[in-house]
Chains A and B, each alone.
Chain A
Amino acid sequence: MEYLEFEQPIKELEEQLQKCSLIGEESDVDVTNTCKQIEKKLKETKKEIYKNLTPWQRVQLSRHPNRPYTLDYIKALCGDTFLELHGDRNVKDDKAMIGGLGKIGDQSFMLIGQQKGYNTKTRQYRNFGMANPEGYRKALRLMKSAEKFGIPVVCFIDTPGAYPGLEAEERGQGEAIARNILEMTRLKVPITVVIIGEGASGGALGIGVGDKVLMLENTWYSVISPESCSSILWRSWEFKEQAAEALKLTAKDMKKQKIIDEIVKEPLGGAHSDREATFSTIKEEILKAYNEFKNLSPKDLVEKRMDKYSNMGVFKG
């Protein structure tokens, strides 16, 4: 397990606990009480730390290297029913955007999401979860195919942004995202969106328009990353903490602004500290959202979705 800077007290206590039980095993000294005390303290410390997370600390948690990624969720939810589908039928298969069919319970879903890697090699292979235009076009191809057969769509968002590359610009990164957003506003099947990590700007919204948008507790979603915001508005990378505060990018802020529909609670210590619990909560939430929308006619569904997005914005006059 890797620990973030603000998690150091937890790390220390966990190490103490390990040592304590080791002593118990290797000698005749009765350590039950000591261990219990450390355990109690550990729990309290965890509670204390996670109760008072700053926006920046949540940003750090959203990028925690042990956090589950899109394929982890899909495999946990669908088991071996998941059938990955590849390619945009134009240029190539984007490894930063994955998708395919799978069953959750008895219902088939089209599952799509950005995918990050878990070590240097796979991180590069997945381009750090930054999709190219062909990734967005693959996602749209899969959504249209789901629409054709009346299959609901689930999108998992976890991206530091759409890839800002030369070829990406040549192949129309802006157009690809714009097209997805437009088509998603009128897709005739229910769409559930789950923000599982980073939700950066157009790169996130390119698969992020939905009837129900869920956000895990320790994730962020905004128009720009706090680092880039700091570098543009403060002209220095040093103000990322302030930028994270100013952008109001946490799940709680987003719910307050009515941009997302639900906050999904994470286990104490974050999604990665108890993966199974996280997966089962997400499964429940996805099915709940699907049940809410499955009986709406395509016309009502689209109308409701368009109304929801039409009402976003705050202005005078």
Chain B
Amino acid sequence: MAWFKRKEKGIQTATENKKDVPKGLWYKSPTGKIIDADELAKNFYVSPEDDYHVRIGSNEYFSILFDEGKYKELDKNLTSKDPLGFEDTKKYVDRLKDAEAKTGLKDAVRTAVGKSFGKDLVIAAMDFKFIGGSMGSVVGEKIARAADYSLKNNVPLVIISKSGGARMMEAALSLMQLAKTSAKLAQLAEAKIPYISLCTDPTTGGTTASFAMLGDINISEPGALIGFAGPRVVRDTTGQELPEDFQTAEFLKEHGFLDFITHRKELKKNINLYIDLILNQAIRN
């Protein structure tokens, strides 16, 4: 079968002659399942063969949870300052500029109000691709203002966490956002307005130590990573072998920190079902 044999060894095609599949046409899940991008969007960004919940951002969650994907964005022009003149290997101001150029986002959270099953709902959804979904002053302020909107208009609040933690480049100011957001949630609790915390992959650090764990219900999606200290830090500090499911949504539910885990296609239904039940109103769908 000599005609099957490669004449020259290795790949000879020059880089510029490589035929690329345009980016975003296909998606490959961690188990290797491949799916067409349009199909994936139709399937709530869940890989149909292995049920892998792809990491998505505010845009996708808004389109899943608001009726016909229609909503009014709140405080969309809030942007970060660099109060400390922070510089590591890169200037914080440059990081912000790059992140904005790369993602088209202003910061790591977007807040919006819209109808979900016909009734108003306020949603704050974090974007991991903006500096790891880190929480600085803007994230804190936008979440606080979203909660204010809920308070003023008596509308339930959903926060969709997706964050590596507090934003180091704002140091203690970012730490104080834990207190700021928690104070607002305390006011929401006093006013008996339901607050649903959806922890998505990943929810770690400062978000876990504040709003992500403070919902009237805390819920998640299958397989999401949720924890305070990251798994590497825990392994390095304790030298212990960690269980395979360590800090997964399933692990947290088993240890009593999540009310339930929902498949993304049931997300809208389950959030609204909870709201209707806790407020003792007719069930919508």
Residues of chain A touching chain B, judged by Cβ–Cβ distance below 8 Å, are: 162-166, 168-175, 177-179, 181-183, 185-186, 201-202, 205-206, 209, 221-224, 229, 232-234, 239, 242-243, 246-249, 254, 257, 259, 305-306, 309-310, 312-317
Contact = CB atoms under 8 A, between A and B. Distances in A.
A165 B241 CA distance: 11
Interface string B168-197: 101111111111101111110010000000
Given A166-B238, A202-B209, A223-B206, A310 B171 contact: no
B138 interface: yes
A225 B141 CA distance: 24
- DSSP class of A's interface residues: helix, strand, loop or mixed? helix
A209 B182 CA distance: 11
Given A162-B228, A172-B257, A254 B213 contact: no
B80 A316 contact: yes
22 contacts: A164-B229, A165-B234, A166-B240, A166-B246, A169-B246, A172-B256, A175-B213, A202-B228, A205-B176, A205-B178, A205-B179, A221-B172, A223-B166, A232-B168, A233-B168, A234-B88, A246-B88, A248-B171, A309-B180, A314-B137, A316-B80, A317-B78
Given A177-B209, A178-B211, A315 B141 contact: yes
A298 B266 CA distance: 43
B176 A309 contact: yes
Contact of B166 (A163, A172, A201, A234): A201
B178 A313 contact: no
A253 to B, nearest CB: 8
Interface of B: 75, 77-81, 83-84, 86-89, 136-138, 140-141, 144, 166-168, 170-180, 182-187, 190, 205-206, 208-214, 227-229, 233-234, 237-238, 240, 242, 246-247, 251, 255-257
B186 A185 contact: yes
A181 B210 CA distance: 7
Nearest to B231: A169
Contacts of B170: 223, 314
Contacts of B234: 164-166, 169
The 8 closest A-B pairs by CB, nearest first: A174-B208, A164-B229, A313-B137, A174-B228, A233-B88, A185-B183, A175-B213, A314-B83
Contacts of B257: 172, 175
Nearest to A133: B228
Nearest to B90: A233
Given A169-B247, A257-B172, A313 B210 contact: no
Nearest to B236: A164
A88 B272 CA distance: 35
A282 to B, nearest CB: 22
A222 B141 CA distance: 19
A169 B229 contact: yes
Nearest to A228: B233
A238 to B, nearest CB: 12
Given A201-B166, A247-B172, A310-B180, 10 more contacts: A162-B228, A164-B229, A164-B233, A165-B240, A166-B246, A186-B183, A186-B190, A246-B88, A309-B179, A315-B137
B240 A315 contact: no
Given A174-B213, A316-B79, A164 B172 contact: no
Contacts of B81: 314-316
A173 B175 contact: no
Contact of B182 (A162, A182, A313): A182
B176 A313 contact: yes
Contacts of B167: 223
B86 A312 contact: no
Contact of B171 (A182, A183, A223, A315): A223
A221 B233 CA distance: 20
Contacts of B168: 223-224, 229, 232-233, 247
A310 to B, nearest CB: 6
A53 to B, nearest CB: 19
Contact of A257 (B83, B138, B205, B206): B83
A151 B237 CA distance: 38
Contacts of A247: 84, 168, 171-172
B237 to A, nearest CB: 5
Contacts of A179: 213-214
A312 B84 contact: no
Nearest to A233: B88
Nearest to A166: B240
A201 B233 CA distance: 15
